[in-house]
Structure 1
Amino acid sequence: MVLNNMKTKIRAWIELLRWDKPTGRLILIWPAAWALWLAPIAPPTPSIFIMVVLGGLAVSAAGCIANDLWDRHIDPLVERTRDRPLANNRISNSAAIILLIFALCCALEIVLCLPTQVRSLSITLASFAIIPILLYPSAKRWLVLPQIVLAFCWGFAVLIPWGMITGNISTDFTLWGCWLSTLLWTFGFDTAYAMSDRRDDAAIGIKSSALTFGRYVGLIVGTCYGLAGIIIAIIANSQELNGGFWLFWGVTFGVMIKEAISLDCNERPRYFYSQHFTRQANLGGLLLLALLIGRAT
């Protein structure tokens, strides 16, 4: 009995952190890895890469907890989220807040372990990142395009690793091009993901870009993916990556556009949009593979 209760509790904690859904962690890690392999000092050392991954997991955990705390009264009204641990009271609010603070402390500890020459910049960037990460879940209450806030959260996944490896945030086109591509890609895939909740969101008065764009949502998502691909191509051309990169780049963004075209204003099963999200995570990894190959010679 005690063992079963412990297993149930552990399962609830894993769900709160979203560790049972690795796709959401990967889709954050990929832009960070893009930045590391596009930076002037590439590839990164194994220690820097590991710290970026661990930091991403800690911040992602904090963001998921903050999201569920904000939405604990809304989630029970949405089919996709009604079984979340805070929504069905499997975890208390106070326990979730303690875990949120712990996750943020873990992220801070990772930053404090960085070399002295890059530590100050990384702390500054991480401090600025915390604001949109903790406030993003509230955006759906007051902003017609709340996915913009999430996109800026993802943008820090580019800025912080870049600062960790270079020690500065310059006007380098590679940096800001990668940042903008990440914003566009994130806004696109999160808009597509929000399509699964359109009916529930409309019923309870929650805002989303999927609702705001209406029948044009597929066009907007496709435009975001297309622009992200063009910017990455300009960066790759400026860095003279080899031909292997272009093969994988073409496949990655070709499939992204195909995925966007499949989005329309007609209602589809919820799993359709979850599959779109999963495929975007896979394509983000494919783009990283393209960069690895492009840097190989």
Structure 2
Amino acid sequence: MTVRIPTLPLREKWPHYMRLMRLDRPIGSFLLLWPTLWALWFAAGGFPSIGNLIVFVLGVFMMRAAGCAINDFADRDWDGAVERTHQRPLATGAIQPREAIVLFLLLSLAAFSMVVLFTNRLTLYLSFGGLALAFIYPFMKRYTHLPQLFLGAAFSWAIPMAWAAQADQLSRLTWLVFTANVLWTVAYDTFYAMVDRDDDLKVGIKSTAILFGEADRLIIGIMQALTVVVLFMVGHQCGRGVWFNLGLVAMASLFVYQQHLVRHRDRQACFRAFLNNNWAGFAVFVGLVLDYALH
């Protein structure tokens, strides 16, 4: 049963705002950060400009916080019925829906201002697509069993933006990295959806975990394998060597471990598999940095 909290003074709401933006749970920010950094390093052919690095690291954290605010706004009528989310600030009434909308707009405006002030015209044009994806993704679970695909596009849109900011152009490699990251995001967010599958079925929320059914592990495994293959193709075409490939081996090994974790589809094990993807993205980033530094 959801407990409603009386309206709080502004000074007492800050902890709830922090929770709304998931500042206490930065895993989503890291999952968004690693592919953004991949794109910057690939586009620069090594260490990117300090300005772009600062803009995109800050932008990642701002837009992830904005995405969490609009996500909780979209899910406010369902979160109270789901075990994992019933204590979120909008579900309890600690924060009002209009406050989540204002927070989403302020964070989006702050991130957009950095793009306008510190990047180029191509990145600016691309930013409108990223904002649209961030806004529409949370509502897709009402209409389609593929909200994870929309999340994949939203989480991957920083890749062409970062590439454009660094190289002032996009290439076929940009979209290969984008494709790899969409596959990876759908895979790990399906693990996440598996945690809530029973609750989602009761309240009518759609997800790939429900769509895939008993084939969930197989389909996730195929997407994980394709992620590694596509990233290997990118590395090969960019002339990357042993360090980058070792990063991919580490990612693949972690994917095998994740499959082992979810073999019984236990909720906590599925959540641990989801969290483990932070290390998979980090491994590829470290391999990429070392390869450019030592090659």
Tell me the TM-score normalized by structure 2.
0.92
Query: What percentage of residue pairs aligned between the two structures are identical?
Result: 30
CA distance, structure 2, for counterparts of residue 74 and residue 149 of structure 1: 19
Aligned residue number for residue 34 of structure 1: 38
Q: Structure 1 residue 262: deviation in Å?
A: 3.9
Indicate yes or no: 2:49 matched with 1:45. yes
CA distance, structure 2, for counterparts of residue 220 and residue 176 of structure 1: 22
Indicate yes or no: 2:195 matched with 1:191. no
Question: 1:137-216 alignment to 2 at 5 Å?
Answer: 137-169=138-170, 172-216=171-215
Task: Calculate the aligned-residue CA RMSD, in Å.
Answer: 1.7
Are the counterparts in 1 of residues 148 and 186 from structure 2 also a CA contact under 8 Å?
Answer: yes
Are the counterparts in 1 of residues 72 and 90 from structure 2 also a CA contact under 8 Å?
Answer: yes
CA distance, structure 1, for counterparts of residue 157 and residue 77 of structure 2: 29
Question: 1:209-228 alignment to 2 at 5 Å?
Answer: 209-228=208-227
Deviations 1:163-206 (A, max 9, x none): 1101122xx33211111000000010001110000100001111
Question: 1:237-276 alignment to 2 at 5 Å?
Answer: 237-264=236-263, 266-268=264-266, 270-276=267-273
Are the counterparts in 2 of residues 219 and 260 from structure 1 also a CA contact under 8 Å?
Answer: no
Are the counterparts in 1 of residues 190 and 220 from structure 2 also a CA contact under 8 Å?
Answer: yes
Q: Structure 1 residue 7: deviation in Å?
A: 7.2
2:96 to 64, 80, 92: 92
1:286 to 259, 270, 283: 283
Q: Structure 1 residue 153: deviation in Å?
A: 0.5
CA distance, structure 2, for counterparts of residue 111 and residue 245 of structure 1: 29
Aligned residue number for residue 21 of structure 1: 25
Local SS of the residue matching 1:87: helix
Q: Structure 1 residue 258: deviation in Å?
A: 3.3
**After the TM superposition, which of the residue ranges 238-247 and 32-41 deviates more from structure 2?**
238-247
Question: 1:53-64 alignment to 2 at 5 Å?
Answer: 53-64=57-68
**After the TM superposition, which of the residue ranges 106-115 and 203-212 deviates more from structure 2?**
106-115
1:65 to 60, 66, 69: 69
Question: What letter matches 1:223 in structure 2?
Answer: I
Q: Structure 1 residue 246: deviation in Å?
A: 1.9
CA distance, structure 2, for counterparts of residue 187 and residue 150 of structure 1: 8
Are the counterparts in 1 of residues 261 and 273 from structure 2 also a CA contact under 8 Å?
Answer: no
Are the counterparts in 2 of residues 39 and 174 from structure 1 also a CA contact under 8 Å?
Answer: no
Question: What letter matches 1:176 in structure 2?
Answer: W
Deviations 1:228-283 (A, max 9, x none): 1011111112222232222232121122133135434x441x32222112110111
Unmatched segments (≥5 aa) in structure 1: none
CA distance, structure 1, for counterparts of residue 168 and residue 149 of structure 2: 27
Deviations 1:44-83 (A, max 9, x none): 1122111001111111111111001111111001111100
Are the counterparts in 1 of residues 51 and 118 from structure 2 also a CA contact under 8 Å?
Answer: no
Are the counterparts in 1 of residues 126 and 160 from structure 2 also a CA contact under 8 Å?
Answer: yes
Aligned residue number for residue 80 of structure 2: 76
CA distance, structure 2, for counterparts of residue 86 and residue 167 of structure 1: 40
Are the counterparts in 2 of residues 218 and 262 from structure 1 also a CA contact under 8 Å?
Answer: no
Are the counterparts in 2 of residues 189 and 277 from structure 1 also a CA contact under 8 Å?
Answer: yes
Local SS of the residue matching 1:90: coil
CA distance, structure 1, for counterparts of residue 97 and residue 10 of structure 2: 19
